[in-house]
Amino acid sequence: MMSGVEIGDLQRISDYRVVRKSLRTSGIGSIIWGIIAVVVGGLALRVNVLNIFLVTLGLLLIGTGVLNIVAPMPIGIIIDGIVISILGVWNIFISLANIALGAQGGGGGFFFFFGIMQISIGIRSFIRYNRFSSVTSHKPPEPYLKWVDDTIKSINKIGEKRSADIIEFQTSGFTTQRWKGRLLEDMAVVIQNRGQDVLFVKKDAVDISKFGNVALSKTLKVVLQFGGRTLKGTISPSSFERYQAWKASSIGRL
């Protein structure tokens, strides 16, 4: 770890990095969704003037996407989630209305599926905002930001079988989340899905407890605690044994 930098500082630097990278990525997605909404809504205006609402939502998504790319801040997560959730509700409403009216060739099932997917994206945005709401727009010192970035990249490149201080596990939520962690002398660095979330946690604040096995498998069911976060998931016996050895003594250095 960099001298003179506390683990809490590393977490704040990491959160800043995650928010900026994820918002820029989601910003591109919002612009794409927005363009689709504007085009579809514009064409549908000939059928029903109410589709001006869809065009308006599309323009809002484009604006939100541009804002998240140019000036990414946590509030952009919640704005994006609200707008895309409303778009999802609209798509579901239109799909059900078309079914009720017996409309033919309206792509009702297609847009109903899109609506469900958009609402789930919106819900995930609200959850992410709760996680990153305290991140400020103040950019950390470049050497610290580079150190955190290089640390995350190095962990992403190494698998459990190639390094004795790497563990891998999975957790479930809306989708299965894959995690990888490096066990250092006095802390663990844990990364979700190659960088969607990153945790710097003191060694004494990490706990992994097994409570069973996956059916017909040696894979272990576990409860994982990283500071104030508690997750349920699965881990391989080799990663769990590596964690146990690390808790007993230091096995990794960066």
Confidence at residue 201, expressed as pLDDT on a 0 to 100 scale: 94
**What are the strands of the beta sheet with 176-183, ordered from one edge?**
197-202, 187-192, 176-183, 166-172, 229-235, 220-226, 206-213
* pLDDT at position 90: 87
The pLDDT score that the predictor gives to residue 2 is 58
> Where are the chain's structural domains?
7-132, 142-248
Handedness of CA 138, 185, 192, 8 (dihedral sign): negative
pLDDT at 252: 47
The pLDDT value given to residue 209? 95
pTM of the predicted structure, to 2 decimals = 0.76
Q: What is the pLDDT of residue 176?
A: 83
CA angle 158, 161, 164 (to 5 degrees): 80
How far is it, in rounded angstroms, from Cα 61 to Cα 135?
23
pLDDT along the chain (254 residues), means of 10: 75 90 88 90 85 90 92 87 89 81 60 87 86 83 89 86 89 84 92 89 94 89 92 93 87 47
The answer to whether the CB of 169 falls within 8 A of the CB of 179 is yes
Q: Which 3 state secondary structure label does DSSP give 4? A: coil
142-248 CATH choice from 3.40.5.50, 3.40.190.10, 2.30.29.30, 3.40.630.30: 2.30.29.30
pLDDT score of 253 = 46
